Structures are given as C-alpha cells and as structure tokens.
Amino acid sequence: MHTFDEVSRMMRSLNLKHGRESLNALLAQAGDQELSPLQWTGMLLGHELNEREQQRRATNRRKAGIQVEKHLDEFDYRHQTTITKRQVAQLLDFQFIDNRQNLIFIGPPGVGKTHLATGIALKALEQGCKVWFSTALALTEDLEMAEIRGRLKARIAQLCRYDLVVIDELGYLPMNRQNNHNLFQLIHALYEYRSAILTTNKDFTRWGDFFVDENVAVPIVDRLIHHAQIFMLGGDSYRLRQKMGGGSVAGVGQN
Ligand code: ADP
Ligand code: MG
C-alpha cells in the first residue's frame, strides 16, 4: 500500500501535474461516487488530459497576439453583402489550413477585413490550431529587429511553427528594400508549408506601389495568390456608417 505522499511523489515523477494538484479533491469525488478502479483511473487520467488541453489552448490564445477580439457571430452580413455567411462558414472546417491555402481579403477601409480575419483566427484557435496574428507594420518591425540581430532565419523558423499566420493591413505603408526582402523570406518559408490570412486595401495590380522593388513584388504576390481563396470586399465603411447614425455614407468618400 502507498501513502498519499508516495502517490503524490510518483505523480510528480510522471509529470502528472494537474492530477497531482487536484489529487485530494479527485479522491474525495471518487469516494463519494464509489468509483470502480477502472472508473477512477479514467477519471484521474481524463482530468490530467483535459487540463493539459485547456492549458495548451490558453497558451495558444496568448501567443496568438490578437489584441482586439472580433467574433464572427458579431459580423453583420446585412451590412457587408459582398461576402456571404455561407462563404465564411465554409472556411470554418479549416480545410484551407490542412491544405496550406491562403485567404486574402481585399477591400477599402472599414469593410470588415480585420474583423473577418480575427474572427476566423479565433475559431481556428478554438479548434486547437496555433495562430499568430500581426499587422504588417508590426511584422515588418519584428523581422527588421531579428535581421539586425542576425536572427532572421531563426525568427522565420519560429513563425513557421504556427499553423496559421495572419498579416493584417498589408500595403497600407510603403516598405524599404530590406523590409521587402525580409517579408519575401517569410512568405517563401510559409509557401505550401503553412497557411496565411492577409488583409489588404490594395489590389494585386497595385502591390508594386508598396514593394519598392517590382522584382520582389512579383514573386511575393505569386506565392501568396497561388493556392489562395480571394475575397474582394466592397461596400460602405462600417465605421462611417456607425458615425452617420446608420444612414447611407454616399458622398462621404473613402479614406
Ligand atoms: P477593415 O479592416 O476592412 O478596415 P474592420 O474589420 O476593422 O475594417 O472594421 C471596422 C470596424 O467596423 C470594426 O470595429 C468592425 O468590428 C466593424 N465592422 C465592419 N464590418 C462589420 C460588419 N459587417 N458587421 C459588424 N461589424 C463590422
Ligand atoms: Mg483592418
């Protein structure tokens, strides 16, 4: 027969952290419910696995870097009619992640690109995927910092460990040559290996405007759109609509 302390020590050796932490409560519960040895074993191991999974998801959620929570069930398809609920629902089986496809949302400001990208990313996290979300600007700074420290390759390898990389607001700001190069390295590493979601206000034909070098723009765009589902969003800015009290924003002009 083993004492409580002995059992607790054995659980520590086996790294059964959660079962060990709750051992008292679990034993009491097993006593109350008069569990059979098999049921008790199942209860203990089930508890350990459950807690580990929850912790893993919480870690994934934290590492994802999603600052503003935007859920898909808050998305109003009556306002945004250039994408349907069914089209979005079809993405939520996450076949696109299994198939290493990209999603690209193109459209003017305020039409819901970031909202959709964030909502899909949150759902992917719920499914247990590892997601990393960043604005293009923050990504550029991140890669630049890594490059300066001679750690660009290592940083890219780290980002490639995520199942899904979301790059929000690509094309809002022009990038210098080094930044173009860094981004190309990342896109190249992700290509056919991981999925990305991009949001951009620029049509591909105008991506040359913000990649200083056409020679970089072409291969980047080429890799991104190969195996991509592209959604062209239009309509009025939701922000402007809200400001105008729900009326039409015709004549206000997009910024
Ligand atoms: P974009 O990234 O296209 O510039 P956002 O996704 O940031 O636009 O949307 C701007 C704001 O309007 C956000 O607060 C977003 O939640 C909200 N929004 C945009 N479209 C919708 C929509 N169809 N239903 C609900 N909220 C929306
Ligand atoms: Mg946005």
Query: How do residues 189-208 score in pLDDT, each as one tens digit?
Result: 999 999 999 999 988 777 77
Q: pLDDT, tens digit, for every residue of 58-82?
A: 999 999 999 999 999 999 999 999 9
199 alpha carbon to ligand 2 midpoint, in Å?
Answer: 7
Mean residue pLDDT of the chain comes to: 92
Give, for ligand 1, the residue of 113, 133, 238 to mutate: max count of ligand atoms closer than 8 Å to Cβ: 238
Look at 64-68, 127-131, 248-252 and tell me which has the smallest mean pLDDT.
Answer: 248-252
The ligand with the least distance to the CA atom of 167 is 2
Tokens 């589902």, residue located: 229
**Nearest Cα residue to atom 5 of ligand 1:** 112
Phi and psi of 30, rounded to 5°? -60, -40
Q: At what angle do helices 136-148 and 177-190 cross, to 10 degrees?
A: 100
pLDDT at 254: 39
Going by pLDDT thresholds of 50, 70 and 90, the confidence category of residue 210 is low
Neighbour tally for 75: CB within 10 Å = 17
| 131-144: pLDDT as tens digits | 999 999 999 999 99
Contacts of 55 (CB under 8 A, 6+ apart): none
Please indicate, yes or no, whether the overall pTM of this predicted structure exceeds 0.85: yes
| DSSP code for 187 | H
Q: Looking at residue 255, what is its pLDDT?
A: 38
Superfamily of domain 65-243 in the CATH hierarchy? P-loop containing nucleotide triphosphate hydrolases (3.40.50.300)
pLDDT digits (tens, 9 = 90+) for 151-186: 999 999 999 999 999 999 998 887 888 999 999 999
- Region of poorest pLDDT, from 45-54, 163-172, 219-228: 219-228
Q: Which residues are within 8 A (CB) of 242 and not within 5 positions of it... i.e. 6 or more apart?
A: none
- Ligand 1 lined by 235 (C-beta under 6 Å): no
Domain boundaries, the chain: 4-63, 65-243
**pLDDT surpassing 90 at residue 248:** no
Q: Of all atoms in ligand 1, which is nearest to the CA of residue 105?
A: 3
For residue 108, give the DSSP letter.
S
111-121 per-position pLDDT tens digit: 999 999 999 99
